[in-house]
Structure 1
Amino acid sequence: MESAGNMPLAVSSYAGLHGLADDDKFLNLAWTIDEQAYLGIDLPALVAEELTREVSGGTPSISTYGVDDPYGEARLGPAVARFFGTPDGFSVTCGAGVNSLLYALAHLAHGGTTVVVGNVYPDLPVWIERLTAIRPVGIQLGQGGWPIADIEAAKARLVVLERPMLTATAASVEMVQDICSIVAKHGGIVLVDESYANYCPPSYSACTVSHAVTNLVVLRGLSKAYWLGGLRLGYCVASEPLTHQVRALVPPMLASSLSLTIGRRVLEQGDIGWPLRTRIETAKVEVIDRLAQVGLGKDAWTAPFLPYVAFSDRRDILGWLERCGILGKRQLFWDAGSATIMGCQRLSIPLAPHRLARFHKSIGSPERQNRRG
């Protein structure tokens, strides 16, 4: 079995890509590049407004060393509470993107078993094994629903979930609460990675119940949907009793004062993702229908809200699409069945009309399917 030291992290999936933008040769669907235009506000204008205010005011955020707010809670916490409609009873701890929080909180696994439910983003399970020298236990998702009994039987120190999930139906908020209650019986913690949840309405988030349980940690960022990954701002919403444990692991002052200022303004706008959700679903139906016309429909799957279509790990699919002038990528994930890194082939949904038109033109007629081998 491959050791964790040799397992690749998610960022390695971008190595060797032709590029990160469309060009004359390729429509680049290896990642999303056109989603920001479908948000409910002009987000670049809002960011520009904040930057202008920063410069005209003598760069107060850039000049500030936030020792009075080392975890960013005073700056970002009120906006987070309003965004999710969550009362008191939780804490907000900020980091330099979600990845910094994943790495820091991998240390929560010390002292017991870690259970990973379903196939998830690979980095956290890999880091847990590297730090503890113990491989997490994977629990697969079957046709019969979520394996609550298996989670209870594991008596885990840490249970890792992802919401939403690329390859399966994620746990509902109510189910997250149930899992928290079960795990709390033996002192366990539930960690939910909601990096993808920016594509969902705020009510979808497990943050909405962080005050109602004692052992929940939810991680979110501003990269997906917002396209603000360069801010390097991630935040952890934790049940209040976990605040000390979380902050004992997350280094202080990871998030810059300027990033916190911009992030606060973004969250204060509320649910600006609703037009994007509508556009994703419309374009996704069109893309999946087109893939079915060329014989790829039976191979494709997708999850609600997410702007992706995934295929089983067959390189001939992406190879054929590349010959058509369409770039996808191999998406890595930690596989709950084998407890190791595996992959699937993924296309991002083209949202802009000219990119969607290029997708149709690149694939061509259904007869082209006969030549894809």
Structure 2
Amino acid sequence: MSPDVRSDLDAIPAYIPGASVPGAVKLASNETTAGPLPSVATAIAEAAMGANRYPDITAGALVDRLADFLGVPAENVTAGCGSVALCQQLVQAVCAPGDEVIFGWRSFEAYPIIARIAHAVPVAIPNRGDGSLDLDAIAAAVTARTRLIFVCTPNNPTGPAVSRADLGKFLDRIPERVTVALDEAYYEYMRSDDPVNGVAEAMARPNVVSLRTFSKAYGLAGLRVGYLVGPVSLVVPVAKMVVPFSVSSLAQAAAIACLEAGDELRARTDAVVDERSRVRRSLLEMRHEVPDTQANFVWLPLGESATDFDSHCREHLVITRCFAGDGVRVSIGDPEENDQFLAAAREFVTRT
């Protein structure tokens, strides 16, 4: 006889990370190809000398620096072990068993997983044909059991971002008892005409929070640190759900150093945006369908051909992220890496 465990766990899918293959170009995980900025690497090395001590359980210095950086009170900010951990803390804070969590689909694949972990019911609303979130359909899906809505903008894995005007209309339709989480993991890559600033929305409305991360543009994916901004009535319960000491002292020091490197960061994200435009333009010239993207990746809605395309890229030593039967997401790498991917994509079109 074995110990009793939850009987529903078999129905919860495991999160599948992007693959790595020795010798291949990895464009599967939306990482930055460059390592941490030199000033950030120095801060990490210095923090490592104190790794024998527990980190500040509240990440107080980081929260204070974030508050100053964002222009908000520190009481409206909490840090976590990456924004995905904060997503899970948020579900645990606002949902009781049987409550509903709504999100677009396809979107960040952790949403249905963390909903089920908290005994909540995931409700996936199909995206529009161009890969953008269908905010009207999401708003129409709200029921008496709805407690939380995730709005991923720019949307992972499809790329389109919600406009500020459309978000405002959407939020006006959502009851204040329902929390809306703006998942802005790719915020730093947005260059749209009417961009959403989730922090501003979170400070203006009683039921909105913004989730951001240092994993993408800041290049700290391996250290796991992110933050949530919102009304105190949501920040406090979310903070209560944190695993103690989960934001390491190295992560806290690195994140603080990142916030000091504004010009360097902007140069890096500008370079990614330039490559993003070049890659998408090249794919469109090949007659691939590629939605407008405001993130550090492109999406190819290949449907049943997704697995074949992914396998073809692997044969050419390029690792992409395949969502079988739906599409393939390709991170933007260095120019040489992107050229290797484009060559593979071009040959796939010629072959088929």
The reply to whether residue 232 of structure 1 matches residue 224 of structure 2 is: yes
**Distance verdict in 2 for CA 1:277–1:305, change over 3 Å:** farther
Give the letter for the 1:316 counterpart. D
- In structure 1, runs of 5+ residues without a counterpart are 38-42, 333-341
CA pair 127-309 structure 1, distance change in 2 beyond 3 A: closer
Contact (CA 8 Å) 1:191, 1:217: kept in 2 or not? yes
Question: 2: distance between equivalents of 1:215 and 1:244?
Answer: 13
Which residue matches 1:125?
112
How has the CA–CA distance of structure 1 residues 223 and 139 changed in structure 2, closer, same or farther, with 3 Å as cutoff?
same
Q: Say yes or no: does 1:372 pair with 2:351.
A: yes
Pairwise CA distance, 1:147: 3.4
CA shift for structure 1 position 207:
1.4
Determine if contact 1:83/1:271 at 8 Å carries over to the other structure. no
Superposition deviation, residue 9 in structure 1: 3.6
Find the residue that maps to 1:159 and give its secondary structure: strand
Cα deviation for residue 245 of structure 1 reads 2.2
Deviations 1:305-334 (A, max 9, x none): 4333433232222233333443322148xx
Q: Aligned partners of 1:133, 1:52: CA distance in 2, in Å?
A: 41
1:45 to 17, 38, 45: 38
> Is the contact between residue 35 and residue 225 of structure 1 (CA under 8 Å) also seen in structure 2?
no
* Unaligned residue ranges in structure 2 (runs of 5+): 1-7
Contact 2:83/2:213, CA 8 A, preserved across alignment: yes
Q: Does residue 94 in structure 1 map to residue 84 in structure 2?
A: no
Name 2:255's counterpart in structure 1: 263
Corresponding residue to 2:16 among 11, 15, 24: 11
- Cα deviation for residue 51 of structure 1 reads 3.9
Instruction: Give 3-state SS (helix, strand or coil) of 1:274's partner.
Output: helix
Amino acid at match of 2:118: L
Q: Alignment partner of 1:63: what SS?
A: coil
Residue aligned with 2:69, SS? helix
- How high is the sequence identity, in percent, across the aligned residues? 20
| Cα displacement (A) at 1:174 | 4.9
Q: SS state of the match for residue 76, structure 2?
A: strand
Pairs within 5 Å for 1:142-161: 146-148=134-136, 151=139, 154-155=142-143, 156-161=146-151
Deviation, 1:215, is 1.4
After superposition, the Cα gap between the structure-2 partners of 1:169 and 1:363, relative to the gap in structure 1 and judged at 3 Å, is: closer
TM-score (norm 1): 0.75
Please give the alpha-carbon distance, in whole angstroms, between the structure 2 residues aligned to 1:116 and 1:91: 24
Matched ranges for 1:1-373 at <5 A: 5-14=10-19, 17-19=20-22, 23=23, 26-32=24-30, 35-36=33-34, 43-54=36-47, 59-60=49-50, 62-66=52-56, 70-72=57-59, 74-84=60-70, 86-88=71-73, 91-107=76-92, 108-110=94-96, 112-132=99-119, 134-138=121-125, 140-141=127-128, 146-148=134-136, 151=139, 154-155=142-143, 156-165=146-155, 166-167=157-158, 169-185=160-176, 187-200=177-190, 204-270=196-262, 272-292=264-284, 295=286, 297-313=287-303, 314=305, 315-331=307-323, 343-352=326-335, 354-359=336-341, 362-363=343-344, 368=347, 372-373=351-352
TM-score, normalised via structure 2 length? 0.79
1:138 Cα shift? Answer: 2.5
Q: 1:331 to 1:91 in 2, by over 3 A?
A: farther
Q: Distance in 2 between matches of 1:96 and 1:279?
A: 27
Cα distance in 2 for partners of 1:370, 1:119 equals 25
Q: Kindly tell me: are residues 128 and 153 of structure 1, through their superposed partners in 2, closer, same or farther at Cα, counting changes over 3 Å?
A: closer
| CA RMSD between the two structures | 3.5
